[in-house]
Amino acid sequence: MSSTPVRSEAMPSGRPLGARLERVYETLLRRNPGEEEFLRAVREVLEVVEPVVERRPEYVEAGLLERICEPERQIIFRVPWSDDRGEVHVNRGYRVEFSSALGPYKGGLRFDASVNASIVKFLAFEQVFKNALTGMPIGGGKGGSDFDPKGRSDAEVMRFCQSFMTELHRHIGDRTDVPAGDIGVGQRELGYLFGQYKRLTNRYESGVLTGKGISWGGAQVRREATGYGCAYFVEEMLRTRGTSLAGREVVVSGSGNVAIYAVEKVAQLGGKVVACSDSEGVVHDPAGIDVELLKQVKEVERARLTAYAERRGPTATHRPGGDIWAIPCTVALPCATQNELDGKDAAKLVRSGVVAVAEGANMPCTAAAVQTFQEADVAFAPGKAANAGGVATSALEMQQNASRDSWTFEYTEERLVEIMREIHAACHDTAAAYGAPGNYVLGANIAGLTRVADAMLALGLV
């Protein structure tokens, strides 16, 4: 796994587009120079759009393609804060409010040194289609900062979050824009952000953020939802092929929020996760990852994966800088970050007999990797479908906040399972209806796009 997020393979695939779509893309290139991640995310959608506009010429007349690629609003702001020694730091904050056609802008905040305008914009763009696929009333947005919480004290993280929210609070609200977590933003950060929002506005407005702690307005299952949802999506893909996760060896990259709960649900569904990773190395544990130990190390102690390997005993080995995709498996779940699995990694997985790959992370597979999986007839689920369980459960949290209610874990998980089945069916059936059975990339993009586009048509030229 590379710790550098952008590789040349991160560029769009370059498959030809029709003349009109090529013009849309040229405008995009001119307006967003060098923004590789954003350009690839849009190109992936444009590449499957041709048959849609043939069936729906009114989309073209209404300028929908041009509008859907341009964020409604982009906010960039300064975040000054001081560390424990009194030294001043200045970070950059972002919130890209991409589309509010289906509901308030909705999407996470990422705190990581690699965050820049292209990354936030690509994540916001993907979020629009992902959120549409959930069938819930949520638009799409994303935000974050190039602040890295790793190695910072709680007090430093709190001061940073308070400064970040001092600016962000003017732009968000339970009916306007509802952030949540993402890389580097978990319950600790959300707590400090919510506390500052509450102080600045003098309102206990629970629905302004999701992913909150249970005692201060959070919902059951939100913490688990992305990883659980990803495992359920894989189970559905395998079911359509007459098989299941039971008895399979699975590799999950990352060891953060998404990865931990993907590991847990795969095990509950009868699979065995034999490896996970972080940006420093890989843990190979052929006896099966001990998820309780993983939670203790990563969530409670905020320690590194080396601590897991030391305490797990002889079954586990830690390989600094190791290559997780070289470990044999039949199901692979990339759950760390963008562009972590390239064409060569995909070829290795195909050689080792992988039958299903689902993106727990956002855009972890390069365009070349996706093509390799599709050519080898591997069931491949793009992130906007496979990891949509997180944001869908955020929408359930918003529902509970709006009605001042709280649901049980069991009931909420049932809702999540139902939502993931519906997303799978929408992708699967749309792909078949457009003559590309089994192509979940095409199915997800077209199903998401048509939901957003139909709402935009109804709302007029805004």
Residue 390 binds ligand 2IT (CB under 6 A): yes
**Contact partner at residue 97 from ligand NDP, ligand 2IT, none, CB < 5 to 8 Å by partner kind:** none
Binding site partner of 430, from ligand 2IT, ligand NDP, none, Cβ cut-off 5-8 A by kind: none
- Residues from 141 through 170 that contact ligand 2IT (CB under 6 A): none
**Residue 5's binding partner, choosing from ligand 2IT, ligand NDP, none, with beta-carbon cut-off 5 to 8 A by kind?**
ligand NDP
Among ligand NDP, ligand 2IT, none, residue 1 binds (CB under 5-8 Å by kind): ligand NDP
Is 352 buried (19+), middle (13-18) or exposed (0-12) by CB count in 10 A? Answer: middle
210 binds, among ligand 2IT, ligand NDP, none (CB under 5 to 8 A by kind): ligand 2IT
Residue 106 touches which of ligand NDP, ligand 2IT, none (Cβ within 5-8 Å per kind): ligand 2IT
The answer to whether 210 contacts ligand 2IT (rule: CB under 6 A) is yes
CA–CA distance, 443 with 95 (Å, rounded to integer): 28
Phi, psi of 2, rounded to the nearest 5 degrees: -90, 145
Is 394 a residue that touches ligand 2IT (CB under 6 A)? yes
457 burial via Cβ count (<10 Å: 0-12, 13-18, 19+): middle
- Cβ proximity to ligand 2IT: between 179 and 281 the closer is 179
> Which secondary structure element, helix H or strand E, spans residue 434, and what is its range?
none
Separate counts of helices (H) and strands (E) for the chain: 17, 12
How does DSSP classify residue 208? G
Contact indicator for 327, 290 with CB cutoff of 8 Å: no
CA 130 – CA 451 distance, rounded (Å): 11
* Catalytic residue, candidates 121, 142, 212, 298: 142
Least spacing, CB of residue 133 vs ligand 2IT, in Å? 11
Strands (DSSP E) found in 83-208: 88-99, 105-111, 140-145, 177-180
Q: Is 142 assigned a catalytic role?
A: yes
Burial class (CB in 10 A: 0-12, 13-18, 19+), 247: exposed
Residue nearest to ligand 2IT (CB): 108
Which residues does residue 381 pair with via DSSP β-bridges, in sequence order?
Answer: 358
Selected from 391, 423, 426, 447, the binder of ligand 2IT by CB under 6 A is 391
Mark 109-128 with x for binding to ligand 2IT (rule: CB under 6 A) and - for no binding: ------------------x-
Report the residue number, 141 or 281, with the smaller CB distance to ligand 2IT: 141
User: Can you tell me which of 40, 95, 106, 223 binds ligand 2IT, judged by CB under 6 A?
Assistant: 106
Token pair for 445? 């993009």
Nearer to ligand 2IT, 211 or 271 (CB): 211
Annotate 215-243 with three-state secondary structure. HHCCCCCHHHHHHHHHHHHHHHHHHHCCC
> Known catalytic residues?
142
Catalog residues that contact ligand 2IT under the rule CB under 6 A.
Answer: 106-108, 127, 130, 180, 182, 210, 362, 390-391, 394
